[in-house]
Structure 1
Amino acid sequence: MNLSNFGMDSVTLAGPLEAKLRASKASGFSQLMLWAKDLAAHPGGLDEAVRVVRASGVRVTGIQVMRDYEGLGGALHDYKLDIAKQMLMVCKAVGAPLLMVCSSTSSHASGDLAHIARDLAKLATLALPLGVKVGYEALSWGRHVNQYQQSWEAVDRAGHANLGVVLDSFHMLANQATFEELDDIPAHKIALVQLSDYMWRELRSAEERLETARHLRVFPGEGMHAKELSDMLRRLERNGYRGDFSFEVFNDDYLQFTPEVVARRAHRSAKWVTDQVLRRSLTVLQATAGHPVMA
């Protein structure tokens, strides 16, 4: 685990696309998670936005976000599938290897796991020839899938090589998830790990959960869940995850500062994350020093 594994999320940074890319790169990050609206809202249009991203030398972690996709039927399913196809084309254009899909909040969506898995597999198949992987994330307020274990169950049931699960520390902490079942998820089936924290120990209402999620997250190392995050990170490291980590930090305060200031905070957080894993590894090595491994 090193800095090349980490990237910011453009939603955390103020300013135009060019400024976000420049600040991210200047702080030592080689990748950035983009939202489709970053590209669509560019004054020069989509083609110019793609040119700007490719010229920056910054790798695109993935594209956010396909919402309320799975579990629908009839005209609603057809509509969302068409939107998903357009999102995949955006991924291809900008060289994004991952399309993020959040668990549905729609009252029109079925909670049938077979239906959900079938829809995810269909999207993964469509993405395959474009060189894009699909990652499925459990929103903590998802209507039917709101725990990471459920998102993994859907991915596992879909059984598609081009489909993985996205783990998001905020949603896991918000639901007071336990991390033991992370051990059941093969490392190669984790498409991405999103990291953030928040400033209080518990979320006392659905309204507070949404307010915190959308406006008041902080970087790992700044919040109140250092112990839980350390446990999560060490489990992932021990289980062999060597993929990307993205700091998905929705924070209105950070949007009042220049992208460079916020990117430096993210860099400190990346160091905090790596220190949590390294410190544990050193402790294990010290405890076993002088005791040779028996063949």
Structure 2
Amino acid sequence: MNLSNFGMDTVTLAGPLEAKLRASKAAGFSQLMLWAKDLAQHPAGLADAVRLVRASGVRVTGIQVMRDYEGLDGALHDYKLDIARQMLLVCKAVGSPLLMVCSSTSAHATGDMEHIVRDLAKLANLAVPLGVKVGYEALSWGRHVNQYQQSWEAVERAGHANLGIVLDSFHMLANRADFTELDDIPAHKIALVQLSDFMWREVRTAEERLETARHLRVFPGEGSHAKELSNMLRRLDHNGYRGDFSFEVFNDDYLQFTPEVVAQRAHRSAKWVTDQVLRRRVTVLQATAGHPEMA
């Protein structure tokens, strides 16, 4: 695990796309998670935004976010499928290897797992010819899928090579998730890990959860869940995950700073994350020194 495993998320940084790309690269990050609106709302248009990203040399971690996709019927399903096709074309244009799908919050969506699995498999099929993978994330306020174990169940049951799970530490911490069940997820089925923390030990109401998620997240190492995050990171490392980590930190305070200042905070957080894993490895080596039977 090194800095090349980590990337910023444009939602964390203030300013235009050019400034976000420049600040992320200057801080030592080689990848960046983009929101589709970063490209669509670029003053010079989508095509120019794509050229800008490609010319920057920054690798695109993925594109966010396909919302309220699964579990719909009839015209609603057809509408969302059309939106998904357009987002996949954006992924292809900008060289994104991943389209993120977050679990539905729609009152019109069914909770039938077979239906959810079928819809995810359909999207994964559509993405194959474009060279894009689909990652499915459980929002902690998702209507039917709101725990990472449920999103993993959907991915596992779909059994599609082009579909993986996205793990988001905020939603897992807000749900007080049991991290031991991470051991059940094969490392190659984890499409991405998104990292953030928050400043209080728990969120008591749905309103507080939404407010915290959308405005008050902080970087790992700055919040109140260092022990839980360390546990999560070590489990993922022990289980063989060697993929990307993205700092998805929605924070209104950070948007008042220059992107360079915030990117430096992210750099410190990346070091904190790697230290949690490396410290554990050193401890294990020391504990087993001179005791081959424990190695």
**Which residue identity lines up with residue 86 of structure 1 in the other structure?**
Q
1:139 maps to 139
The unaligned stretches of length 5 or more in structure 1 are: none
Q: Distance in 2 between matches of 1:77 and 1:225?
A: 38
Secondary structure of the residue that 1:23 maps to in structure 2? helix
**Which residue identity lines up with residue 140 of structure 2 in the other structure?**
S
How far is 1:223 from its partner? 0.1
Contact 2:62 2:98 in 1 (8 A): yes
Question: Are residue 167 (structure 1) and residue 161 (structure 2) matched?
Answer: no
Secondary structure of the residue that 1:192 maps to in structure 2? strand
How far is 1:252 from its partner? 0.1
Secondary structure of the residue that 1:166 maps to in structure 2? strand
The unaligned stretches of length 5 or more in structure 2 are: none
2:88 maps to 88
Q: Distance in 1 between matches of 2:10 and 2:89?
A: 19
- Give the TM-score of the pair, scaled to structure 1: 0.99
Q: Distance in 1 between matches of 2:287 and 2:205?
A: 43
2:180 maps to 180
Cα displacement string for residues 43-80 of structure 1 (whole angstroms, at most 9, x for unaligned residues)? 11000000000000000000000000000000000000
Q: Distance in 2 between matches of 1:124 and 1:87?
A: 13
**Which residue identity lines up with residue 148 of structure 2 in the other structure?**
Y
1:215 maps to 215
How far is 1:294 from its partner? 9.3
**Which residue identity lines up with residue 164 of structure 2 in the other structure?**
G
**Which residue identity lines up with residue 225 of structure 1 in the other structure?**
H
**Which residue identity lines up with residue 90 of structure 2 in the other structure?**
V
- Give the TM-score of the pair, scaled to structure 2: 0.99
How far is 1:292 from its partner? 3.1
Percent of aligned positions with the same letter in both sequences?
88
Question: Are residue 277 (structure 1) and residue 265 (structure 2) matched?
Answer: no
Secondary structure of the residue that 2:166 maps to in structure 1? strand
Secondary structure of the residue that 1:64 maps to in structure 2? strand
Question: Are residue 4 (structure 1) and residue 4 (structure 2) matched?
Answer: yes
Q: Distance in 2 between matches of 1:100 and 1:201?
A: 28
How large is the Cα RMSD of the aligned pairs?
A: 1.0
Q: Distance in 1 between matches of 2:34 and 2:90?
A: 11
How far is 1:204 from its partner? 1.2
Alpha-carbon spacing, 1:221–1:294, altered in 2? closer, same or farther (3 Å): closer
Secondary structure of the residue that 1:106 maps to in structure 2? coil
Secondary structure of the residue that 1:39 maps to in structure 2? helix
**Which residue identity lines up with residue 235 of structure 2 in the other structure?**
R
Q: Distance in 2 between matches of 1:175 and 1:219?
A: 18
Cα displacement string for residues 236-291 of structure 1 (whole angstroms, at most 9, x for unaligned residues)? 00000000000000000000000000000000000000000000000001111123
Secondary structure of the residue that 1:194 maps to in structure 2? strand
Question: Are residue 234 (structure 1) and residue 234 (structure 2) matched?
Answer: yes
1:245 maps to 245
Question: Are residue 263 (structure 1) and residue 263 (structure 2) matched?
Answer: yes
How far is 1:198 from its partner? 0.2
Q: Distance in 2 between matches of 1:289 and 1:42?
A: 56
2:109 maps to 109
Q: Distance in 2 between matches of 1:292 and 1:177?
A: 35
How far is 1:293 from its partner? 5.7
Secondary structure of the residue that 1:167 maps to in structure 2? strand
Aligned residues: 295
**Which residue identity lines up with residue 258 of structure 1 in the other structure?**
T
2:67 maps to 67
Cα displacement string for residues 186-241 of structure 1 (whole angstroms, at most 9, x for unaligned residues)? 00000000000000001011100000000000000000000000000000000000
2:288 maps to 288
Alpha-carbon spacing, 1:266–1:294, altered in 2? closer, same or farther (3 Å): closer
Secondary structure of the residue that 2:292 maps to in structure 1? coil
Question: Are residue 195 (structure 1) and residue 195 (structure 2) matched?
Answer: yes
Q: Which segment drifts farther, 284-293 or 189-198? A: 284-293
Q: Distance in 2 between matches of 1:54 and 1:101?
A: 23
**Which residue identity lines up with residue 216 of structure 2 in the other structure?**
L
Cα displacement string for residues 86-121 of structure 1 (whole angstroms, at most 9, x for unaligned residues)? 000000000000000000000000100010000000
Contact 2:288 2:294 in 1 (8 A): no
2:20 maps to 20
Q: Distance in 1 between matches of 2:182 and 2:169?
A: 12
